[in-house]
Structure 1
Amino acid sequence: MANVRQLDPSASPLDYFGCECRRLREAAGLTLEALGKILFCTGSLIGQIETAQKVPTRNFAERLDAAFLTDGSFTRMIGMVLRSQLPNWFQAYADMESKADFISTYQCQVVYGLLQPPEYAAALVAVENPDKVEELVSARMERQRILEKKQQPAVWVVLDEAVLLREVGGREVMRKQLARLVSFRNNPWVNIQVLPFSVGVHAGMVGSFNLLRFEDDPDIHYSEGYDQAHMTANPDVIRERSVGYAHLQADALSVEDSADLIARVMEERYGHRAEAENVA
């Protein structure tokens, strides 16, 4: 008989998910292959999920609920499972971000995670975590679900112009990323401004940072370094960074002019015309 890896359901959300999947499958008298046929996947994949060697997707969780008639329990669980794949030092911020009423961010290197398409996110993740790309991208896409909530947070993003020009993942990936930014043009809850090079020295020279505001809790300031993060509710820090952010918004192009610039860069730098000119 095969030596099946036993999980401790209290060890992590991923272990708990795997334990529950195995428990219900065995209670139903199903082999891995039999359940795989029901879920339209391989028995090997289910075995990897049951032993916490593979991170399930939201779609997989939804199909499990349908197969076992579990009234959405796996679907409710998947958010915790995916969030647990985020770096430990980032998980506290992700939790606060999901509860915020207003998110303000200045980004000088890359597009803010909530606005990244999977391809752009994958290119970034692969630099430091080439063996966990699928899991970390899934976790990032899970974060973005807050933009689909009935009462979604208001999001204000100031992007340094350099973000538009730094090629991440290749031309096609950049085109998809900029197209996604342009898609928010008429979204009243997501506002994007570009801080042009012409501004020169500005209030964001110290680096990227985020401000989270809540209806009943203190505001949070968040910034990060190479492998750690700093999150504080210190009123002096919040006041200083809030004033700095107001200056960034004032210096940046308007939301409309920013959308025009992003669309122009998308076509002129990453569009088919630009590709033809480079080939010539």
Structure 2
Amino acid sequence: MSDDQEIDGTSSPALRFGEEFRRSRRARGWSQTDAGARMGYSGGLLSYVERGKKPVSLNLAVRADHVFGTGERFQQLWRQYSNASLLEGFAEFTAAEARCHRMRTFGVGVIQGLFQAPAYASALAAAAVQRGSITSEQADARVSFLATRQMLLNRSKPPFIHAVMDESCIRRLVGGREVMAEQMKYLEELAAQPWVTLQIAPFDLGERAPFKMPLILLDLPDRVVVGYAESQARGHLERGREAVAAWSREYDLLQVESLSTAASLAMIRAVRKELS
């Protein structure tokens, strides 16, 4: 990628930071090397930052504001992209998510963020505030951050998505019956898209379910496949070929064991009918 190639900064906060940095640098006629010399970073690192391929540190954001004279603009962008309410490692994942051309996901317990309707996402954030896990401001930032990620689904050429959801995702009542009914309708609408395949892993899959936690596999433009998994405390972007290959094999088994797309959609409609 050349120094002057355009990037799409609307698809993730990481790319938005990179685009703003690139715009400020170009306005001053600086190369990446020139900007790096003023900030104490290499031009190579700044190239990765501009493309959303490297996590941005607070120190880099502070130095960018200083050399560009932008007040706290870059620090605000950093907070959007690396908010304290988000899991460690999540910002790195979203930078990869924004570039993927195929995505395979498995969700358990609650519907994964990319597939959440606005009211469902807000209910989860509000519950986190009530537990004292995050502040009201962080809850707003979390919901806003999710809306930015979901722009991925509105591209002219969105990635191909295969989503498997544990039955618990559609059975667990989040936000009340009305919110859940809206969420089921949203899943139906997603499933109707030609680039989305949606399956439900039923409860009776039992011990045959290969995963016990949420998992995402991303196929990137350079043909690299990365995986992302979460624990309660942090997220981890897995790049190791053997680990990712093992996850891919187990995901293939999960697809075979789960309900067909027609049966999955029928279950979602039945749940929506029960809620209504």
Normalised TM-score (structure 1):
0.65
Q: Which whole-Å deviations, capped at 9, do the CAs of 1:168-190 have from their partners, x for residues lacking one?
A: 11111111111100112321111
Aligned to 1:118: 118
How many angstroms apart in 2 are the aligned matches of 1:177 and 1:191? Answer: 17
Aligned to 1:261: 267
Which of 81, 84, 90 is residue 83 of structure 1 equivalent to? 81
Q: 2:213 aligned with 1:213, yes or no?
A: no
Per-residue deviation, 1:159: 0.4
Asked if the contact 1:209/1:221 (under 8 Å) is kept, the reply is yes
How many angstroms apart in 2 are the aligned matches of 1:192 and 1:226? Answer: 25
Aligned to 1:246: 252
How many angstroms apart in 2 are the aligned matches of 1:183 and 1:233? Answer: 32
Number of aligned residue pairs: give it.
199
Alpha carbons of structure 1 residues 100 and 80: separation in structure 2 relative to 1, 3 Å: farther
Q: 2:79 aligned with 1:94, yes or no?
A: no
- Any idea what SS the aligned residue of 1:99 has? coil
Asked if the contact 1:203/1:245 (under 8 Å) is kept, the reply is no
Q: Which whole-Å deviations, capped at 9, do the CAs of 1:227-266 have from their partners, x for residues lacking one?
A: 2111111111111110110111001111121111101111
How many angstroms apart in 1 are the aligned matches of 2:273 and 2:170? Answer: 12
RMSD: 2.5
Asked if the contact 2:164/2:199 (under 8 Å) is kept, the reply is yes
Gaps in structure 2 of 5+ consecutive residues: 1-15, 25-72
Paired letter, 2:261: V
How many angstroms apart in 1 are the aligned matches of 2:77 and 2:186? Answer: 23
Per-residue deviation, 1:200: 1.8
Q: 2:147 aligned with 1:141, yes or no?
A: yes
Alpha carbons of structure 1 residues 208 and 152: separation in structure 2 relative to 1, 3 Å: same
- Any idea what SS the aligned residue of 1:184 has? helix
Counterparts of residues 180-191 of structure 1 (less than 5 Å): 180-191=186-197
How many angstroms apart in 1 are the aligned matches of 2:159 and 2:142? Answer: 23
- Percent identical: 29
Aligned to 1:129: 134
Aligned to 1:108: 108
Asked if the contact 2:218/2:226 (under 8 Å) is kept, the reply is yes
Gaps in structure 1 of 5+ consecutive residues: 1-11, 21-73, 272-280
Counterparts of residues 1-280 of structure 1 (less than 5 Å): 82-85=80-83, 87=86, 88-126=88-126, 127=128, 128-131=133-136, 132-268=138-274, 270-271=275-276
Paired letter, 2:190: F
Consecutive aligned runs of 4 or more in structure 1 exceeding 6 Å deviation: 78-81
How many angstroms apart in 2 are the aligned matches of 1:129 and 1:204? Answer: 32
Per-residue deviation, 1:103: 0.7
Greater CA radius of gyration, 1 or 2? 1
- Any idea what SS the aligned residue of 1:210 has? strand
Alpha carbons of structure 1 residues 130 and 255: separation in structure 2 relative to 1, 3 Å: farther
- Any idea what SS the aligned residue of 1:111 has? coil
How many angstroms apart in 2 are the aligned matches of 1:173 and 1:252? Answer: 26
Paired letter, 1:164: I
Greater RCO, CA 8 A, separation 6+: 2
Per-residue deviation, 1:197: 1.2
Asked if the contact 1:185/1:256 (under 8 Å) is kept, the reply is no
How many angstroms apart in 2 are the aligned matches of 1:117 and 1:262? Answer: 14
Normalised TM-score (structure 2):
0.66
Per-residue deviation, 1:91: 0.6
Per-residue deviation, 1:154: 0.7
Asked if the contact 2:215/2:227 (under 8 Å) is kept, the reply is yes
Alpha carbons of structure 1 residues 80 and 103: separation in structure 2 relative to 1, 3 Å: farther
How many angstroms apart in 2 are the aligned matches of 1:95 and 1:112? Answer: 17
Per-residue deviation, 1:80: 7.3
Higher alpha-carbon deviation: 151-160 or 217-226: 217-226
Aligned to 1:8: none
